[in-house]
Structure 1
Amino acid sequence: MMSIELIELKHDEHGTPVGVFIPFRYWGVLRHTVRAYTPIFDLMDRYGRPKIWEFVEKQHGPVNYLEMQMKSELAFIQKFARGEAIYVEDERCPSKPHFVRHNPDGSEDLISRDWEKETDVLVRQLTPAGQGVYAFLLKDPRYERIKARHKDQHTKDGEASST
């Protein structure tokens, strides 16, 4: 087994480390020990696999990773608040046209998607409601505000069409 060198960053007034530096060269060894799609996993995976980001930067210029993460989270929150699912491909997808469907209740399903007919065939449930990778976004304060705004807008649209 490979020995992993961790470096303590700062210490507080009690001498307790407040951070640890993990060199990216160890990410390949540590990756399987970290729960997938958590903030630390996404951060390490993003920087631990720089080739894709080098490609993106060559195509589009410098990438602000934190800004991209924040925009992605907001986009996901907005979709969930509107009751829409998010479709992604990850290592849980055996082949195309399989996708992981992140549902607005925080659950996840492995599905087969027909994009032309806009239909899903459930292969199996991956996680129950509130237990999915992005379920933490349902607790974000922006989620309730956006959901209420969407509901108000939907109600106003319904009143306008009935008059």
Structure 2
Amino acid sequence: MTHRWLMLLALLAVLRLAHAAPGLEEREFALAARLRCMVCQNQTLAESNAPLALDMRRQIREQLTRGNSEAQIRDYFEERYGAFVRYDPPFRPSTWLLWLGPFALLMLGLVLLARIVRRRQCAAPPPLTPAERSHAQALLEGDET
């Protein structure tokens, strides 16, 4: 008999939680999709099945249930793991390398490419050897020897 009461109470608690927070799951997923899994690093928390990602998603749900805003939760994770945890890190001095690094590498590559092309254009071709010169003359005259 007590087993049935416990099951009924558990069911009511689950239904109350689900009804009390409409959209909680969507908010949790949206926030998890904007945070990086610190184990996988190329997946969001929403995509990852790593134990740390599961724990971080559980923390998101708990904080949302407590009434914390998405900004508060994001700030909590950023304080704990650094700006790298966000897929859209803020533009500030500590994250300039994340934002400007790819462009700096691209510019460096273009400068190096331009220097290589310029050197090749300026370099004079080596003079022909006598054998190469006679072979070229034979080709020009139509004699294929």
TM-score range, shorter chain: under 0.3
Q: Give 1 or 2: higher helix fraction.
A: 2
Larger Rg over CA atoms: 2
Q: TM (normalized to structure 2)?
A: 0.26
Q: Give 1 or 2: higher strand fraction.
A: 1
